[in-house]
Structure 1
Amino acid sequence: MLGIFLILEIAARLTLEIRERRLTQMRGGVFALLRLIPLVNDIVPLPEHRKAPAESEFQKKHEEGHAELRHGILRNLAKIALLLLAVWLFAFLLASREMSLVEAVLWLHLAAIPFRTVFHLYCWHQEYEADHYAFEKLGKKVAKAAMRDLATSEIPYTKLFAAIYREHPTVAIRSQKILNKEIKA
């Protein structure tokens, strides 16, 4: 059963990679291959930017919004809750199901996929709140300029791909939320 789920995961990730390459017309490189391998895709970071985004007043207010809304603490509490759940599942698999260490790790990896995606969506909600905070403080004109600048430095992933791999929504999604207009590079 474990083998079937791992093969399905690899097939789903391969389909997602092919879909992403076709829609964005960008090469995947070594990172695309590493994301296909179970467990490795948990630790290989997804590059988010072509270059570091220019620091702006909007970015400062965005970060101020994170601090004001206590997002760091809330995000860390969510991580701790998920970590405790993972430890419980791991101990359950080892003790009650008498699985080998490798099997337990692979089952934990598979169980983490939906939880990681939900965590990403939670992080996205925090990003929207921080964007809204900065938008309220600085106005539409500054927010629009900041989104344009961010779009030029960001790698334009699709919404589905970003939800699976990123803790930050794409500029197109963020600009749609605060400006009701999708800004792309």
Structure 2
Amino acid sequence: MFNTDMTRRGLVLGAAALALGACNNGIGSNGAAQIDARVEATQNFLFQRYPGTQDLASRASGVLYMPLITEAGFGIGGSYGRGALRIQGVTVDYYSATKGTIGFQIGAQQYAHALFFMTPEALEEFRRSSGWAASGEIRYATPDQGASIGKETTELDPVIALVFGQQGLIAGATLGGVKYTRIIP
């Protein structure tokens, strides 16, 4: 007979994959040059729109810029994006960010984020790992908070994540995690 649970699951996974594919995320594109151009534009936008982030970046040991993350979900969801790690303003590596979620959710959105590695040890741990998973050790903030993040905050938090430029709508409550993996574009 026909298993309706498997059919629904396949439909949901297929729809999520199609939604992610439909959003122009640069997959299969010009590689490093396109990522670098997007990272440069994202950094400029962040510094111009939220001037305090420029000071934050100058104090960071390194910054991972993810210019475009595309996320979609309907029960089961996921997201993907590519970006670059910059140390003293120079790109040193490229990374992908992959996220899987499960729970009550529906919708799609795109956004950018930046991870500020505030200690050399946090940056080294990130670069040394074969796949680094974001966890509770990261302090998440909005750019408005980033404009006023003080010295005492950055001394306590080894990694600060700023999420900005959200477009689209996704709603719900989910469990999930983000994994960053070094790539060769």
- After TM superposition, is the score higher than 0.5? no
Higher helix share: 1
**When the two structures are superposed, what TM-score results if normalisation uses the length of structure 2?**
0.26
Q: More relative contact order in 1 or in 2 (CA 8 Å, sep 6+)?
A: 1
**When the two structures are superposed, what TM-score results if normalisation uses the length of structure 1?**
0.26
Higher strand share: 2
